[in-house]
């Protein structure tokens, strides 16, 4: 396979123009740590952002940072940490789950809309992305968005590209809004709750004025033998003490919570963020998105059809991580039949290439939405050279 690694945006434009002329489709790659997401690549060559690195903009007082797309995510996070700041959305690291190596890049975070447990409070990567530079399928460089949230020129284009997995164009630069790091982080833990009661607890807490920043439930057997229901509080110490006491009183019917902080709390939430509980297995792994109160209902139906399934809940129950035996269709028929009546959708995150080629990885679209999706793809990429079929077969 031919790998193109431009070091300037102009070189990247030239690569795209040459590929359009030759008709050879392109896979888009950053650090390669998320290459297993989506349908298997149908491209004969790769356009890699590894040569496009460096912080291009950092204004701590304005709480905004910009970097070329191939810049390691770790460099962005370290730069922010030096000034007591962070990316708001706690991006997931897929390496353990997908068995990949390399360094995650900031461009891939934007392209995949990669978000973690803080999404329930601070929003997704898409919500913090305020500017991009992108090369479209004509080899043209496009700038959209700006340095501050007040500059909304082209903001909808920014949001559209986030989560497109490289199918609309090649990102060369991204700009994110950032936030201060909290002074203190504490996790409240309730033990032994069944799924429905745990999701009820999380819903009550998230509907309260006491502002949890993350909310998850780990059923029995996920990580340890006993079920654990988790709420994470962030802020100055006095605020956390007050909110922890108020939440304990509000949720007293479920028992008194334990408090965990420091390295233990950080490690626990990293496991939740990265679905680390499923990292060292051969199971197929799914992400289910549902209304939180529908999660336990969907899981009960799925567990009846797939008795060996394992799962845990993030985002207050709105995100269910599900591991199932690596069967012929990775459990797709049973899973989608269970969630369809509830208005949810399912994404296959990990499975062998043969299964990801035969089973819809992303939730199948209704015909009108499929036509709109195809039209958007054509408007950005008329020759269809960027990641053909990566998200939906035939697009």
What whole-number percentage of the chain has pLDDT above 90?
Answer: 92
Nearest Cα to 220, choosing from 197, 200, 251?
Answer: 197
Q: Is the pLDDT of residue 155 over 80?
A: no
Mean pLDDT value across residues 15-21: 95
Express each pLDDT in 224-264 by its tens digit: 889 999 999 999 999 999 999 999 999 999 999 999 999 99
- Looking at per-residue pLDDT, the higher value among 325 and 205 belongs to 205
What SS3 class is residue 369?
helix
Mean pLDDT value across residues 358-382: 95
Q: How confident is the model at residue 54 (pLDDT cuts 50, 70, 90)?
A: very high
What whole-number percentage of the chain has pLDDT above 70?
Answer: 98
DSSP code of residue 363: P
Q: Is the pLDDT of residue 151 over 80?
A: no
- 37-51, 154-168, 339-353: range with lowest mean pLDDT: 154-168
Q: How confident is the model at residue 300 (pLDDT cuts 50, 70, 90)?
A: very high
CB atoms within 10 A of CB 245: 11
The pLDDT value given to residue 328: 83
Taking the chain, what is the end-to-end CA distance rounded to the nearest angstrom? 22
Q: How confident is the model at residue 146 (pLDDT cuts 50, 70, 90)?
A: confident
Q: How far apart are CA 190 and CA 226, in angstroms?
A: 10
Q: Can you give the residue ranges of every domain in the chain? A: 2-180, 184-274, 276-358
The pLDDT value given to residue 154: 54
Mean pLDDT value across residues 94-109: 96
Q: How confident is the model at residue 152 (pLDDT cuts 50, 70, 90)?
A: low
- Among positive and negative, which fits the CA dihedral 235, 239, 244, 246? negative
The pLDDT value given to residue 68: 98
Residues 6+ apart with CB under 8 A from 200: 293
In the predicted model, what is the mean pLDDT of the chain?
Answer: 95
Give the distance from CA 219 to its chain's centroid: 22
What SS3 class is residue 101?
coil
The pLDDT value given to residue 156: 82
Inter-residue contact 183 to 237 (CB < 8 Å): yes
- 51-55, 209-213, 279-283, 288-292: range with lowest mean pLDDT: 279-283
CATH number for the domain formed by residue range(s) 276-358: 3.30.70
Residues 6+ apart with CB under 8 A from 192: 226, 227, 255
> What pTM did the predictor assign?
0.95
Q: How confident is the model at residue 149 (pLDDT cuts 50, 70, 90)?
A: low
- 9-18, 123-132, 138-147, 199-208: range with lowest mean pLDDT: 138-147
Strands of the sheet with 2-4, listed across from one edge: 2-4, 45-48, 26-29
Cα-Cα-Cα-Cα torsion 106, 270, 87, 311, nearest 10 degrees, comes to 80
The pLDDT value given to residue 31: 95
Nearest Cα to 66, choosing from 143, 169, 156, 181?
Answer: 143
CATH number for the domain formed by residue range(s) 184-274: 3.30.70
Comparing 184-274 with 276-358, is the CATH topology the same? yes
Inter-residue contact 230 to 218 (CB < 8 Å): yes
Give the distance from CA 307 to its chain's centroid: 27
Topology of the domain comprising 2-180 = 3.30.465
Q: How far apart are CA 357 and CA 315, in angstroms?
A: 29
Q: Is the pLDDT of residue 327 over 80?
A: no
Mean pLDDT value across residues 96-106: 96
The pLDDT value given to residue 326: 75
């Amino acid at each position: 396979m031919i790998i193109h690694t431009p070091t300037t945006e102009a070189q990247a434009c030239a690569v795209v123009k040459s590929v359009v002329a030759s008709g050879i489709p392109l896979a888009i790659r950053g650090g390669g740590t998320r290459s297993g997401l989506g349908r298997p690549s149908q491209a004969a060559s790769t356009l890699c952002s590894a040569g496009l690195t460096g912080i291009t903009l950092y204004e701590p007082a304005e709480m905004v940072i910009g970097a070329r797309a191939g810049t390691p995510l770790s460099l962005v996070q370290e730069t922010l940490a030096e000034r007591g700041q962070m990316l708001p959305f706690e991006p997931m690291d897929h390496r353990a789950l997908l068995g990949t190596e390399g360094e995650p890049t900031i461009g891939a975070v934007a392209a995949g809309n990669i978000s973690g447990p803080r999404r329930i409070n601070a929003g997704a990567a898409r919500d913090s992305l305020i500017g991009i530079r992108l090369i479209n399928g004509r080899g043209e460089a496009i700038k959209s968005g700006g340095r501050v949230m007040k500059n909304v020129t082209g903001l909808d284009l920014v949001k559209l590209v986030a989560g497109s997995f490289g199918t609309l164009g090649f990102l060369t630069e991204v700009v994110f809004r950032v936030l201060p790091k909290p002074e203190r982080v504490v996790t409240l833990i309730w033990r032994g709750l069944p799924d429905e009661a745990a999701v009820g607890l999380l819903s009550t807490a998230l509907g309260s004025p006491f502002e949890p920043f993350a909310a998850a439930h780990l059923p029995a057997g996920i990580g340890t033998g006993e079920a654990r229901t988790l709420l994470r509080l962030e802020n100055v110490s006095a605020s956390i003490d007050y909110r922890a006491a108020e939440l304990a009183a509000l949720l007293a019917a479920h028992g008194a919570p334990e408090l965990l902080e420091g390295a233990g709390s950080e490690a626990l939430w990293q496991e939740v963020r990265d679905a680390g509980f499923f990292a060292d297995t051969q199971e197929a792994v799914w992400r289910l998105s549902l209304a939180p109160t529908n999660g336990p209902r969907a899981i009960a139906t799925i567990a009846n059809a797939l008795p060996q399934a394992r799962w845990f809940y993030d985002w207050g129950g709105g995100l269910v991580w599900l591991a199932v035996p690596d069967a012929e269709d990775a459990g797709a028929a049973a899973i989608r039949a269970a969630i369809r009546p509830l208005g949810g959708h399912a994404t296959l995150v990990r499975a062998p290439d043969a299964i990801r080629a035969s089973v819809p990885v992303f939730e199948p679209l209704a015909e009108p939405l499929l036509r709109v999706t195809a039209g958007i793809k054509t408007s950005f990429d008329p020759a269809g050279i960027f990641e053909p079929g990566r998200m939906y077969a035939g697009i």
